[in-house]
């Protein structure tokens, strides 16, 4: 998914020819992908003439047909069946797993969940995108089940979150918005409820956290 996200990002900002992109390390962190995956995506965009590398250490937006790219991206709808299916899968997995998470989460699991709560708070305070911390937080919740079948679904959860960036690429640069504060605060509340082994509070905060996605799927 990184190539479409980067294309949407370039078009929607908009980034003019010659604009220098963030470092590979930062882009990989923002998108929660490996450097290998990112480099493949960047190579694809360079092959299409959308990006240019004037020096070995810089990557810039090239001169290209923006109307053609905009038409290509217009076909990527936020309301297609696949996106709604991913939303439904995520909601069913996470809400359905609450009791098992509370029963199964060890101290090590709690430390891993809290790690990403703290990372989200740190990113928000630093004015950086919280996407990776958000993705890893939800992965840590489900990984606490130690269930290999559920673990096999984690890439689909990450794909759903990437689709969310595709819908709104400003998440890569417009940081510190009310939605970011909501996400980070709710991560903290969910973690604290799990730590207390409180099923009512955990369900309340997780449902509140997932509600924007549920509402989107219903529209």
Per-residue pLDDT tens digits for 72-104: 777 655 445 566 777 778 888 899 999 999 999
H/E run at residue 156: helix 154-167
**Confidence (pLDDT) at 78:** 47
The torsion defined by the Cα of 53, 55, 60 and 65, in degrees rounded to 10, comes to -40
> Can you tell me the distance from the alpha carbon of 166 to that of 76, in angstroms, rounded to the nearest whole number?
8
Which residue in the block uniquely carries the two structure tokens 């963030």? 22
**pLDDT (tens digit per residue) in 160-216:** 666 665 555 555 655 678 889 999 999 999 999 999 999 999 999 999 999 887 776
Domains of the chain: 2-74 (1.10.10.10), 81-218 (1.20.120.530)
Angle of helix 2-12 versus helix 66-74 axis, rounded to 10:
120
pLDDT of residue 6: 83
Let me know: does 145 contact 109? Beta carbons within 8 Å: no
* Amino acid 159: pLDDT: 67
| Residue that wins the pLDDT comparison between 25 and 140 | 140
Count the helix, strand and coil residues of the chain and give each as a percent rounded to the nearest 5.
70, 5, 25
């Amino acid at each position: 998914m990184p190539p479409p996200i980067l294309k949407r990002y370039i078009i929607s900002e908009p980034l003019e020819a010659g604009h220098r992109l963030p470092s590979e390390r930062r882009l990989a962190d923002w998108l929660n992908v490996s450097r290998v995956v990112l480099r493949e995506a960047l190579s694809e965009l360079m092959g299409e003439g959308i990006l240019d590398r004037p020096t070995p250490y810089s990557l810039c937006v090239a001169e290209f047909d923006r109307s053609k790219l905009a038409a290509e991206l217009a076909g990527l709808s936020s309301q297609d069946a696949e996106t709604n299916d991913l939303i439904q899968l995520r909601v069913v997995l996470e809400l359905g797993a609450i009791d098992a998470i509370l029963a199964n989460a060890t101290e090590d699991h709690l430390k891993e969940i809290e790690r990403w709560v703290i990372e989200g708070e740190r990113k928000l305070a630093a004015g950086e995108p919280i996407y990776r911390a958000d993705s890893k937080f939800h992965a840590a919740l489900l990984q606490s089940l130690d269930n290999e079948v559920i673990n096999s679904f984690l890439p689909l959860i990450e794909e759903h979150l990437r689709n969310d960036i595709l819908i709104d690429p400003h998440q890569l640069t417009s940081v510190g918005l009310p939605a970011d504060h909501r996400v980070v605060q709710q991560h903290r509340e969910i973690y604290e409820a799990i730590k207390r082994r409180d099923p009512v509070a955990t369900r309340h905060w997780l449902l509140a956290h997932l509600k924007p996605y549920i509402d989107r799927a219903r529209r």
